[in-house]
């Protein structure tokens, strides 16, 4: 029997802000903002969200992942649409329980082959895996070949994060760091990075935002030297700054593609306004 491969990705990838040429199902988290619930992207989009938290910095903000039942119903839909196989790409399991939910949901749906891939990434790092999966499906590759390729690519995604304040990451427990270290970090502008296992950790302690930016440019330029890469910059309420950095990197390497992508509200709720994520994928 021939395979018909369906794709599912979580909204943390920012895929909603991209145009895809293949039907992809999106499982979205919920944003709890000032006592109101919003479905990510559907009820609230990036621009609006950052404006709200800029205007009201002390607003109560938290998130909740998609329920297992809701994920299972997405799998059921794909089964009804005649898909035999499904590849699910989700945010790093070190940053959210979505991976666990997607695995549990798999047990609730019979007669369809579901493979859940922990992207160990977020934002464009995660979205890129789905973009590549679409390309391979169109090339008539088998599910096993696609999964194998995505797992290889996953190990070549590098992300650094500049946050304006650690307040949000600390409050929501998304930062993997020892408490003693956090006390000193709160007073500075740390440079963070996503590790190979998908956890977000402090990379370097830097005193000011401008120094942190300069250091990040230096690190990335050194890392991508003579390598074939695609770059991306995920922005919050600072698209102009993202564009400025893009121009700096393009001066250094005219031959690379650099995608500018908004950080979706559910991710932004943990990172906070003023955050920039800069990453590259070795291809």
Residues 150 and 13 in one domain: yes
In a domain, 58, yes or no: no
Which of 119, 154, 189 is a domain's end point? 154
pLDDT: is 185 or 100 the higher one? 100
The mean pLDDT of 242-255, rounded to a whole number, is: 97
In a domain, 125, yes or no: yes
Residues 109 and 142 in one domain: yes
Q: What is the residue whose two structure tokens read 């994060």?
A: 161
Confidence label for 157 from pLDDT (cuts 50, 70 and 90): very high
In a domain, 132, yes or no: yes
Cβ contact 194:200 at 8 Å: yes
Residues 142 and 268 in one domain: no
- Whole-number pLDDT of residue 185: 61
pLDDT of 247 over the 70 cut: yes
Three-class DSSP category at 89: strand
Tens of pLDDT, residue by residue over 115-145, are: 999 999 999 999 999 999 999 999 999 999 9
In a domain, 57, yes or no: no
Separation between Cα atoms, residue 109 and residue 91, nearest integer Å: 21
Rounded to the nearest integer, the mean pLDDT of the chain is: 93
- Whole-number pLDDT of residue 209: 87
Confidence label for 164 from pLDDT (cuts 50, 70 and 90): confident
Residues 17 and 125 in one domain: yes
Domain span including residue 186: 157-282
The mean pLDDT of 2-26, rounded to a whole number, is: 96
- Count of structural domains, the chain: 2
Which of 154, 170, 201 is a domain's end point? 154
In a domain, 43, yes or no: no
In a domain, 78, yes or no: yes
In a domain, 48, yes or no: no
Which of 154, 176, 193 is a domain's end point? 154
Tens of pLDDT, residue by residue over 76-116, are: 999 999 999 999 999 999 999 999 999 999 999 999 999 99
- Whole-number pLDDT of residue 166: 78
In a domain, 59, yes or no: no
**With b meaning 16 or more CB within 10 Å and e meaning fewer, what string describes 3-23?**
bebbbbbbbbbbbbbeeeeee
Q: Determine what percent of the chain is predicted with pLDDT higher than 70.
A: 95
pLDDT of 188 over the 80 cut: no
- Whole-number pLDDT of residue 256: 96
Cβ contact 159:122 at 8 Å: yes
Q: Determine what percent of the chain is predicted with pLDDT higher than 90.
A: 84
Residues 144 and 187 in one domain: no
């Amino acid at each position: 029997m021939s395979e018909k491969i369906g794709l599912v990705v979580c909204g943390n990838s920012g895929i909603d802000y991209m145009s895809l040429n293949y039907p992809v199902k999106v499982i979205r988290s919920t944003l709890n903002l000032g006592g109101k619930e919003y479905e990510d992207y559907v009820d609230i989009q990036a621009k609006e969200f950052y404006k709200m938290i800029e205007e009201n910095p002390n607003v109560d903000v938290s998130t909740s992942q998609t329920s297992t039942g809701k994920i299972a119903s997405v799998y059921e839909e794909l089964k009804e649409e005649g898909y035999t196989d499904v590849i699910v790409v989700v945010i790093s399991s070190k940053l959210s329980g979505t991976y666990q939910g997607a695995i549990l949901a798999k047990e609730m749906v019979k007669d369809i082959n579901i493979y859940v891939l922990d992207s160990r990434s977020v934002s464009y790092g995660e979205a890129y895996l789905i973009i590549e999966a679409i390309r391979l499906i169109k090339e008539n590759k088998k599910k096993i070949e696609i999964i194998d390729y995505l797992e290889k690519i996953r190990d070549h995604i590098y992300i650094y994060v500049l946050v304006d304040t650690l307040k949000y990451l600390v409050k929501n427990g998304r930062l993997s760091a020892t408490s003693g270290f956090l006390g000193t970090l709160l007073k500075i502008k740390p440079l963070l990075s996503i590790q190979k296992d998908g956890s977000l950790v402090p990379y370097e302690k830097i005193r000011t935002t401008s120094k942190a930016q300069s250091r990040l440019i230096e690190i990335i330029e050194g890392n991508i030297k003579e390598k074939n890469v695609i770059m991306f910059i995920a922005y919050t309420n600072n698209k102009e700054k993202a564009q400025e950095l893009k121009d700096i990197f393009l001066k250094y390497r005219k031959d690379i593609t650099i995608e500018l992508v908004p950080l979706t509200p559910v991710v932004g709720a943990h990172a906070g306004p003023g955050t920039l994520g800069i990453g590259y994928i070795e291809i």
